[in-house]
Amino acid sequence: MSEVGGYYERGPSNIEERSFDIIRETLGCYAVDESLIDIAIRVVHAGADFSLANLLEARNDAVASARGALSRGGVIFCDVEMLRSGISRRECERLNLKPVSYIHDDDVRDAAQRGGMTRAMASVDKAIDEGVRIFAFGNAPTALFRLLERVRDGARVDFVVGMPVGFVGAAESKALLAESGIPSILTRGPRGGSGLAAACVNALLRMV
């Protein structure tokens, strides 16, 4: 096996900084709302795909609402563990925030079996019953549908990152979120994922 030759960037902070510079310069050619630029940079970086910038949408003064909600500390609900693990621990500690995922909890599993629903849906019920008001979705459309049902029935929610991914229900759940009146940042259509949702949350954390 031949030795790797030539220069390549080894410093993680330098790699990230150079990536962000490239993305920021290129996004100058895209019609991205100024309030979403920092979010778009991190989402594009997470997906290595500039087309994601065109799918971002903010509803109901979402950025200001998110900054206000996050500045108060508390719990951030994550629909899956991958999303929870992708959120910056350092930023959460700075703001007295705790990202949680209940999907593997025994009581959530039992509630899902009793109710004939997905564990993602049951985990939303647990979060609402515990008073959580900040929600992030990067995987499960059923969880976002359940949140919207609970809001319709009177649950209070401060802010939502809505980026579930897939071909069954993902686009529809986000379309309903966009029309719900809840302050939210979402990706239109079937595209999304835990990495993109975590990137969005991390961008918002750094704005606070």
Looking at the chain, how many residues does it have? 208
Query: Measured at the alpha carbon of residue 139, what is the angle toward residues 192 and 127, in degrees to the nearest 5?
Result: 125
**64/13 Cα distance (integer angstroms):** 28
Alpha-carbon distances, residue 175 vs 110, 123, 148 (angstroms): 30, 22, 11
Write phi, then psi, for 77 (nearest 5 degrees). -75, 135
Q: Half-sphere exposure of residue 75, counting CA atoms within 13 Å on the CB side?
A: 16
- Catalytic site residue 45? yes
The one catalytic residue among 41, 44, 45, 121: 45
Which residues belong to the active site? 45
